[in-house]
C-alpha cells in the first residue's frame, strides 16, 4: 500500500507531507515574529504542498521537476521570512506569487534565448517593484504604477516584460478539452506546403489554357501515371500522335510560365 502512494520529488515523499491550516499557522507566525526561529522549519514542512500546487503549472514543459521543487522551496522560505500578520491575508495568498516568481526567475536566467544585459536588469527590477507594490497594496499594480516607481516609460516596462517571457514549447496544448489536443505546432504555417499550394494554382491556370485533348493527355500521363500507349488506346489514335501532342503541350506550358501567362498559344 505504501509503495502505491509513494510519489517522490527531490527525495521527499509528497504523499505524506503535512498540511497546516491558516488557523494553525497564525500562532506559529506570532512565535516566529517573537524570535522562535525553531518554528520556521515547521512552517516550511507544513507548506511544501503549496510548492507542489505551483509546480503543476510547469508540467509537460520538459523541465526538471526536482530542480523546480527546490527553487520553489526557496521562494517559500522567502515568503515565510517576509510575511507579516499585519498583511491581513492568508499566507497562501501571499506565498504563491513569491514561489511562482522564484521559479520564473530561475527559468528566465537559465534559458537559451539571449537577452541584452540592460533589458534583463530592467525586467528583474520590474519584477521586484511589482512584488513590492503587490505586498504593499494587496493588489496587482498597473504598468503605469510600476513605471512611476522606476522612473521610466510604460513602453519600456512592456518591452522588458515581453522580452523576458518564458519560451513556449511548440508542443504546448492550445485546445486540451479532448483526447486529441491541438498543439501550437499544429497551427504553424508550413512554408513548403504553401509554396506547393501556390504552384498547384499556377499549374491549374496554365492547364486551363490548353486544348481539351492536350489537357487530357498531360493529366493522364503525369497525374494518373498512364503510358503513351495506354492514352493512345483510350483516345483511339496512334502512340506517335500522343507523343507529338504531349511535346507541344509541354512546350506551351514552359512558354506560359516563362512569360507569366502572357504568351498566347
Q: Do domains 114-165 and 191-258 have the same CATH topology?
A: yes
Cα 94 to Cα 99, 101, 114, 134, 197, distances in angstroms:
9, 12, 32, 9, 54
| C-alpha atoms less than 13 angstroms from C-alpha of 204 in its C-beta half-sphere | 6
Spelled out in words, what is the top-level CATH class assigned to the domain 114-165?
Answer: mainly alpha
Choose among 157, 257, 147, 159: nearest CA to 199.
Answer: 257
Spelled out in words, what is the top-level CATH class assigned to the domain 1-111?
Answer: mainly alpha
In the chain, DSSP finds a helix count (H) and a strand count (E) of: 14, 4
The helix or strand, by DSSP H or E, that contains position 44, with its residue range, turns out to be helix 39-45
Check if CATH label 1.10.10.10 holds for domain 191-258.
yes
pLDDT along the chain (265 residues), means of 10: 45 71 90 89 90 83 82 92 85 89 81 64 86 87 88 82 61 54 53 55 78 90 87 91 90 75 44
How many Å apart are CA 23 and CA 13, to the nearest integer? 25
Q: What is the structure's pLDDT at 201?
A: 63
pTM: 0.43
Where do the structural domains in the chain lie, given as residue ranges? 1-111, 114-165, 191-258
Amino acid at each position: 500500500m505504501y509503495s502505491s502512494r509513494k510519489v517522490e520529488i527531490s527525495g521527499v515523499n509528497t504523499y505524506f507531507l503535512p498540511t497546516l491550516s491558516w488557523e494553525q499557522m497564525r500562532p506559529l507566525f506570532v512565535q516566529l515574529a517573537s524570535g522562535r526561529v525553531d518554528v520556521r522549519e515547521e512552517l516550511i514542512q507544513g507548506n511544501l504542498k503549496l510548492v507542489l500546487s505551483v509546480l503543476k503549472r510547469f508540467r509537460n514543459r520538459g523541465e526538471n521537476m526536482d530542480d523546480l521543487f527546490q527553487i520553489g522551496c526557496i521562494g517559500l522560505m522567502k515568503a515565510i521570512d517576509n510575511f507579516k500578520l499585519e498583511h491581513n491575508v492568508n499566507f497562501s495568498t501571499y506565498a504563491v506569487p513569491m514561489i511562482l516568481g522564484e521559479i520564473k526567475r530561475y527559468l528566465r536566467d537559465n534559458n537559451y534565448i539571449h537577452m541584452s544585459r540592460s533589458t534583463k536588469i530592467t525586467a528583474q527590477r520590474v519584477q521586484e517593484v511589482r512584488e513590492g507594490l503587490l505586498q504593499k497594496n494587496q493588489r496587482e499594480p498597473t504598468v503605469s504604477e510600476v513605471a512611476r516607481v522606476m522612473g521610466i516609460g510604460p513602453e519600456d516596462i512592456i518591452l522588458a516584460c515581453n522580452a523576458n517571457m518564458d519560451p513556449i514549447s511548440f508542443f504546448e496544448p492550445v485546445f486540451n478539452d479532448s483526447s486529441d489536443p491541438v498543439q501550437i505546432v499544429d497551427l504553424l504555417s508550413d512554408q513548403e506546403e504553401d509554396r506547393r499550394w501556390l504552384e498547384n494554382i499556377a499549374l491549374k491556370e496554365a492547364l486551363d489554357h490548353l486544348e481539351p485533348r492536350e489537357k487530357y493527355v498531360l493529366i493522364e500521363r503525369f497525374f494518373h501515371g498512364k503510358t503513351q500507349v495506354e492514352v493512345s488506346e483510350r483516345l483511339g489514335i496512334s502512340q506517335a500522335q500522343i507523343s507529338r501532342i504531349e511535346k507541344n503541350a509541354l512546350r506551351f506550358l514552359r512558354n506560359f510560365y516563362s512569360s507569366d501567362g502572357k504568351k498566347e498559344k
